[in-house]
Structure 1
């Protein structure tokens, strides 16, 4: 189902979350970077003797970034999971407003195939680690900064995802017929209340609140990151990216291609996600043009924005691997954590298996880079 308005609004929320963290804290809300940072920190605590990959982030116009704790990454990831939980609570009423489902029927391992699920998770995990980003970091923020590396990465992972989705098609799933099929609570909120709750996170994340004197100084950036992570998950759901069927349908854009790459019989193109680029990328470009001349972000002393750099083989290989994994399952890091937080169909679902493979792929790739 073509849903231009919800996808556009979702894109606006994604832009708000990514530009908000960048302008206020000088940090990049890249879902894969956040996830790999958290996974790596947990792994290092479990195995402190393990050799860790060196930090490669640099500050814009300020030389190497100083060592900093990963607390904001934990807070952002927790916010993304909390956003999924919020969506679980408001889903019945919210879907009544949107006129479409925000989650698919759960993809069970037995139906999809354990090999496909594990391969997709490993490829997405390793690919995003090697490419140092995914759809959020490279597309929403990298393209907004006119980064040549991000442009090359986006072209690589979109093209390989498109090809993979056609060569190895995933049976298109159907949206759930009812909340009960996901084990969700029946609608207990009015549509207006559901929308109000979804707007709470972006409104509360305004710097005037999260950086107010009512909040301890050590907690302010964490609270801000948490609320923006929650906002990001809500934006993903409105955009349609928490539905793998919608993502896969977007890959079926009509193109003059060889018969081997033809769209599977009965499948149709859903252009909704193009509205995400319109609502998410264009505002980010305007924000970057405004803030790129600032000496420092609003609430920190330094920028933590990757410098440019050459387009190299590691970037292209990583982006291509990510694209293959994305094309196999229609899941990238951000939606993964939103769906995990919602707990939709976790029992027997492929999502936890995919998540475990994603973590393993990132850790292995991190060792390669060490």
Structure 2
């Protein structure tokens, strides 16, 4: 596989995703918090961004159903009902709480690094620490269990 074929699709899709987040206002924490404030000064504009994403994803699922394999991969790796466990539910709850407090989630935070890096840097740093902890804690438990 050539380097261009390996890096170009993720680079282009990431740029498209980041551009969409920026244009849609998802990189503005105040707008996101306004959307989540259902009983206060609710801002419904992000519902249109999410609705647009749902429509695009519905079309992608229909397109994928007719494909034997992905354009840039060997096989499709899709979630199923067995992926739903306590860790996923706990992580989803923590994600939602953090999104509500900070008004950012990982995609918009990374996109915001290009627009306002100083304001989003603490969030990105905390996100990276959380990702590292997610990897290190299970590894440490496995090592402890082997040594016991």
- What TM-score does the superposition give when structure 1 sets the normalisation length? 0.35
Specify the alignment match of 1:222 in structure 2. Answer: 7
1:312 to 1:222, Cα distance in 2 relative to 1, 3 A:
same
1:279 maps onto 2:52 in alignment: yes
| 8 Å Cα contact 1:296/1:302 also seen in 2 | yes
Alignment partners' CA distance in 1, 2:66 and 2:137: 36
Q: Which among 221, 240, 243 is matched to residue 28 of structure 2?
A: 243
Deviations 1:156-194 (A, max 9, x none): xxxxxxxxxxxxxxxxxxxxxxxxxxxxxxxxxxxxxxx
1:240 to 1:296, Cα distance in 2 relative to 1, 3 A:
same
1:231 maps onto 2:16 in alignment: yes
1:329 maps onto 2:114 in alignment: no
Q: Which among 65, 68, 92 is matched to residue 295 of structure 1?
A: 68
Deviation at 1:250, TM superposition (A): 0.2
RMSD after superposition: 1.9
Alignment partners' CA distance in 2, 1:245 and 1:317: 25
Specify the alignment match of 1:306 in structure 2. Answer: 79
1:297 to 1:321, Cα distance in 2 relative to 1, 3 A:
same
- What does residue range 350-365 of structure 1 map to in structure 2 within 5 Å? 351-365=120-134
Matched residue pairs, number? 139
| 8 Å Cα contact 1:248/1:330 also seen in 2 | yes
Specify the alignment match of 1:318 in structure 2. Answer: 91
- What TM-score does the superposition give when structure 2 sets the normalisation length? 0.83
1:345 to 1:302, Cα distance in 2 relative to 1, 3 A:
closer
Alignment partners' CA distance in 1, 2:109 and 2:91: 19
Q: Which has the larger radius of gyration?
A: 1
Deviation at 1:219, TM superposition (A): 1.6
Alignment partners' CA distance in 2, 1:368 and 1:306: 24
| 8 Å Cα contact 1:253/1:271 also seen in 2 | no
Deviations 1:100-141 (A, max 9, x none): xxxxxxxxxxxxxxxxxxxxxxxxxxxxxxxxxxxxxxxxxx
Alignment partners' CA distance in 2, 1:363 and 1:231: 27
Alignment partners' CA distance in 1, 2:35 and 2:14: 25
Alignment partners' CA distance in 2, 1:324 and 1:311: 19
Structure 2: tracts of 5 or more residues without a match: 140-148
* Bigger RCO of structures 1 and 2 (CA < 8 A, at least 6 apart): 1
Looking at secondary structure, tell me which structure has more helix per residue: 2
Alignment partners' CA distance in 2, 1:302 and 1:322: 29
Deviations 1:195-245 (A, max 9, x none): xxxxxxxxxxxxxxxxxxxxx822223112112111111100111101000
Alignment partners' CA distance in 2, 1:319 and 1:278: 20
Alignment partners' CA distance in 2, 1:366 and 1:293: 36
Structure 1: tracts of 5 or more residues without a match: 1-215, 255-262
Runs of 4+ off more than 6 Å: none
Deviation at 1:283, TM superposition (A): 2.1
